[in-house]
Structure formats: C-alpha cells, structure tokens
Amino acid sequence: MQDTVRVIPLGGVNEVGKNMIAIEYGDEIIIADCGLAFPEDDMLGVDLLIPDITYLRQTPKKVVGYVISHGHEDHIGGLAYILREINAPVWATPLTCGLIEVKLKDSRLLGEMELHTFRDGDTVQVGGFTVEPFTVSHSIPDAVGLAITCPAGTVVYTGDFKFDQTPADGRRSNFARIAAIGGRGVLALLSDCVHVETEGHTPSEQVVTETFRKVFARAEGRIIIATFASLIARVQQAITVAEEYGRKVAVVGRSLEKNVAIALELGYLRASPGTLVTPQQLSQEDGGRAVLIVTGSQGEPTSVLNRIANQDHRYVKLRKGDTVIVSATPIPGNETAVSRIINSLFKQGANVIYSSIERVHVSGHASSEELLLMLNLTNPKYAVPIHGETRHLVRYKQLAISAGMPPEHVVIPENGGVMEFGP
Ligand SMILES: [Zn+2]
Ligand SMILES: [Zn+2]
C-alpha cells in the first residue's frame, strides 16, 4: 500500500473549459468531470476541444468511474467522445444525468454505458474511492462538489460554485456537510478560482430577480430575455416574475427548449399551469405582453437573438416598444458581436437592457471572500486552484497565502502535470 494520492488535471487549468481531473490511488483512477471547450478565433476548422487522455489510454482498465459535478458543457461535454475509449460508470445528480442522457442519445452511446444517480447526502463507493457529493450554488441547478476519499486521505473537488444565500431555486450550499468533511481532515482542496479577481461576495441571484421586477413593472410591450441555454436559474427567475405580472412565457431556441423540458420534467423548474406556452400559441392579445426567453446572449451567429436583431427570425419579429434584456456578460472575445446586436435592437426601436446599465446578470462563480470561506471550511493541508487561466491560478495562490496557507502548500497545477499528496 502506498500512502499517496496522485491528482492529474487532464484539462481545465491555465485555460477555461474542458475540465477533467484524474485522481489516482494504487491501481485505480477516478475521474472528476469530463468537459469540452470551444475553439478560439484562430483555431480555424476546429469544432470543439476535448481533454488530452493519452495518460488514461496507457492503462484504460484503471479507470473505475467518472463523477460529475454539474451539467455545463465544460464539465460533461467530453463524455460523448471519451467514453468511447475509456468506458466506465458515470455518477451524477438527477438533472445532470438528464442532460448527459440527451448528449449520449445524440451520439448513440446511451445503451453502452452505465449511468448512476447520486445526490447531496449520499455516500457512494466508486471502486476503492468513497465519494460524498455536497450541494453548492451555481448558475445551473443540482450542482455538487465532491469529497473523494481513499486511504491516503480526502480530496475535495469544489466543482463550479458560489455561496448564494438566496438562490433562485432555493437549494443552498450544504455548509454543514462541507464543514463536517473539513472537520474530518482534508488532504487537498481543488478549488474553482475563475472569479478570484472580484473582491468580496458574488451577488445573489435575488439581485437579478429584483431587476427583472423593476423592468417588468415599467415595460409596455413584450419582454425578450436572452441568456445561456444552460442558465436554468435565470429561466426560473423570468417565469416567477412573469407570473407576478400576469404575463405568459415562451421559450425559443433549440438548446434552451431541450434544457427547459428536462428541468421541468425533473422538477428543477416550476411554472404554474398555463404560464408556459409555445411561441405559436401566443394569441394576438397575449402576444403583446408575452415574455420570450431566447438564446444568444453571447452574440452567437445562429442564435435567436442574433436572428431577431437581423430581422430574419422565422416568427419572432421585433416590435417598437419591446424590451430586450441581455441577461449575461459577454465572454471576452464576444464583446463586438454582442455590441452589434444591441445597436441593431436599439435602431429598431427596442428598449435594450444589458449588464453594464442594470443588474441583469450575476456570476455563477465564487468571488474572493467565498473562495476563502470554502478554504476555511474545508481546512485542507494543500490547496490547488483549478478552473481558471494562469492569472486566476496565481491570484488564488496569493489569496490562500493571505489566509495563512504556507506558500509551499498551494500548488499551481498544469494540464498533464502530476501532483502527489500524502499525509
Ligand atoms: Zn459551470
Ligand atoms: Zn465550469
């Protein structure tokens, strides 16, 4: 028996996207997340990027399972490609399982794989590893962090998180369980760090709900809300406020429609009967006061918002007096496309509201104080920032040192680099 555990990021560090971490003890490997990334502007001809699994290919039998933190593409998108080569059981929470099933159905892998459900409070055995998922707040429901224990100790993988005390779906982070895991002793904390540059606390989703109320109260015509297809929390906020103001809601955009259907079916989205209608169902009079939730907050060329702005959407035509809310912050690189759309919407007589003028978006990631709270609750011997570019990793290291971590106990990881931790 060796008394060390090896942690090997295969993607997701010194970059944002394609998160995947191998945790190896003895002759077993457990994988935390399996995501994809979208190409940069200069990667011509590249559709998407997946983690480099060369290391796993050498000994595919070692992999005892995948444990997944939440249903965003940068955490589940690689499964459809990587499971073909490294097939092992996958564990995830119910909503995440639903989203994974859709992906695997698309790639016809569904029959050949083993998908298991776990939830906050469970303790599951994956090979020789004991895995304890704990609820964390994020911009998609049913997100968990994972405590993964082997004889060498416990590794805590936070997944993407923030500590929202008033989340849109009412599911707060499980502070008690995180503290209990910390109390037992944590060898290494692998922490989300992408929002470390923002000081203090990330505002609660409740802030966005309040802005929606303000906008809904003064809007005369229709309200069109553009957001990420995976931002189920934002869809819930729009539905909740629409119901308060007696407006009907239609969801437009293939990816968004799919995600909303799964979330409704599994109970992660709530709407009163009659609130949600198809865009075609909107009668003339309802149509004048309808709320449309659409894709395209990042200016994507094929998105509904871009088509509306270009006046070439099949059935959604902008009317004078419509209010358009762009409920997201442009990801670096997308600013020009988003700005072009906003200009075009204004030109057509819409009232456009976006993140630099009103609080219509909050991040799903922890700011510095929340990162410190996670660090102090888990009280690890070693800390490793993940899910960030180099600048975020370095800033996290400085932050952890400021909270008393010895500098040599905070490790800046590299994709493919091996970290070995022992008591
Ligand atoms: Zn995420
Ligand atoms: Zn992520």
pLDDT digits (tens, 9 = 90+) for 372-423: 999 999 999 999 999 999 999 999 999 999 999 999 999 999 999 999 999 7
Assess whether 341 and 384 both reside in one domain.
Answer: no
Assess whether 195 and 251 both reside in one domain.
Answer: no
Report the pLDDT averaged over residues 187-203: 97
Assess whether 344 and 390 both reside in one domain.
Answer: no
Give the pLDDT confidence score for residue 283 in this predicted structure.
63
Taking the CA of 232 as reference, the closest ligand is 1
The CA 138 to ligand 2 mean position distance, Å, reads 10
The CA 13 to ligand 1 mean position distance, Å, reads 14
The CA 17 to ligand 2 mean position distance, Å, reads 6
- The CATH number of whichever domain residue 210 belongs to comes to 3.40.50.10710
Residues lying with their CB under 5 A of ligand 1, a single-atom ion: 72, 160
Residue 260 structural domain: 205-354
Give the pLDDT confidence score for residue 284 in this predicted structure.
61
The CA 388 to ligand 2 mean position distance, Å, reads 9
As a 3-state breakdown, the chain gives helix, strand, coil percent values, each rounded to 5, of 30, 25, 45
Assess whether 157 and 40 both reside in one domain.
Answer: yes
Distance in angstroms (rounded) separating the CA atoms of residues 91 and 122: 12
Report the pLDDT averaged over residues 206-225: 95
Residues lying with their CB under 5 A of ligand 2, a single-atom ion: 74, 160
Burial category of 333 from C-beta neighbours within 10 Å (exposed 0-12, middle 13-18, buried 19 and up): exposed
The CA 25 to ligand 2 mean position distance, Å, reads 25
Assess whether 59 and 85 both reside in one domain.
Answer: yes
Residues 260-306: tens digit of each pLDDT: 999 999 999 999 999 999 888 876 666 688 999 999 888 888 899 99
Read off the pTM. Answer: 0.92
**Closest to 88 (Cα-Cα) out of 108, 118, 68:** 68
Taking the CA of 35 as reference, the closest ligand is 2
Which is more confidently placed, 67 or 284? 67
Torsion of CA 291, 296, 301, 307, to 10 degrees: 10
CB atoms closer than 10 angstroms to residue 266: 16
Assess whether 314 and 248 both reside in one domain.
Answer: yes
Give the pLDDT confidence score for residue 44 in this predicted structure.
81
Tell which of 322, 337, 354 closes a domain: 354
Distance in angstroms (rounded) separating the CA atoms of residues 313 and 304: 7
The CA 10 to ligand 2 mean position distance, Å, reads 14
Assess whether 38 and 79 both reside in one domain.
Answer: yes
Assess whether 312 and 297 both reside in one domain.
Answer: yes
Assess whether 248 and 223 both reside in one domain.
Answer: yes
Quick check: 108 pLDDT over 60?
Answer: yes
Assess whether 80 and 175 both reside in one domain.
Answer: yes
Tokens representing 43 are: 């990667």
Assess whether 368 and 348 both reside in one domain.
Answer: no
Which runs of consecutive H residues, i.e. helices, occur in 245-389? 254-265, 284-287, 304-309, 335-347, 368-378
The CA 89 to ligand 1 mean position distance, Å, reads 22
* Strand partners of residue 137: 162
Report the pLDDT averaged over residues 225-251: 93
The three-point CA angle 140-21-11 to 5° equals: 85
Give the pLDDT confidence score for residue 286 in this predicted structure.
63
In the chain, the number of structural domains is 2
Taking the CA of 16 as reference, the closest ligand is 2
Tell which of 322, 354, 386 closes a domain: 354
The CA 231 to ligand 1 mean position distance, Å, reads 9
Taking the CA of 192 as reference, the closest ligand is 2
Give the pLDDT confidence score for residue 46 in this predicted structure.
83
Report the pLDDT averaged over residues 111-116: 89
Tell which of 329, 354, 379 closes a domain: 354
Assess whether 284 and 389 both reside in one domain.
Answer: no
Q: Give the burial string for 207-238 (b: 16+ CB within 10 Å, else e).
A: bbbebbeebbeebebbbbbbbbbbbbbbbbbb
